[in-house]
Amino acid sequence: MKIAHKIASAVFAAATVLTLAGCASTPSQEGAGEYVDDAVLTTKVKASIFNEPSLKSTEINVETFKGTVQLSGFVAQPADISKAGEVARGVKGVKSVKNDIRVK
């Protein structure tokens, strides 16, 4: 009877540990290396947009998280929204672009 109780306790403990391990979430914060990589990407995208004569870069904001670039701000023409997205996608290292730019 004591052996059965010990086995049942061990099984319960193992099941609890496995259940809790399955509940662990993926990290939502960046490590130092990822943060530096994202900062470099942000700088490169900003420079590319600044060097594009058709875009008024002072009104376009750039943020990067894990290689995904988010563009926001305002432009004068609808075509500028697409152009900013194309410029950002053309930067080496950019995984994807979320374009939230709006027309003024």
Q: CATH no. for residue 41?
A: 3.30.1340.30
Question: What does 62-91 look like in DSSP terms, one character per residue?
Answer: EEEETTEEEEEEEESSHHHHHHHHHHHHTS
Average pLDDT of adjacent 10-residue blocks, the chain of 104 residues? 67 62 58 78 95 84 95 94 96 96 92
Assess if residue 98 is contained within a domain: yes
Sequence-distant (6+) residues with CB within 8 A of 90 are 48
Q: Of the candidates 37, 27, 84, which has an alpha carbon nearest to the alpha carbon of residue 65?
A: 37
Q: What is the pLDDT of residue 49?
A: 94
Q: What is the pLDDT of residue 2?
A: 72
Assess if residue 11 is contained within a domain: no
Indicate the residue type of 93.
G
Q: What is the pLDDT of residue 25?
A: 54
Assess if residue 16 is contained within a domain: no
Assess if residue 6 is contained within a domain: no
Residue 19 DSSP SS3: helix
Assess if residue 72 is contained within a domain: yes
Indicate the residue type of 29.
Q
User: pTM of this prediction?
Assistant: 0.68
Q: Are 88 and 60 in contact (CB under 8 A)?
A: no
Q: How many domains is the chain built from?
A: 1
Q: What is the pLDDT of residue 44?
A: 95
Assess if residue 65 is contained within a domain: yes
Range of the domain at 36: 30-103
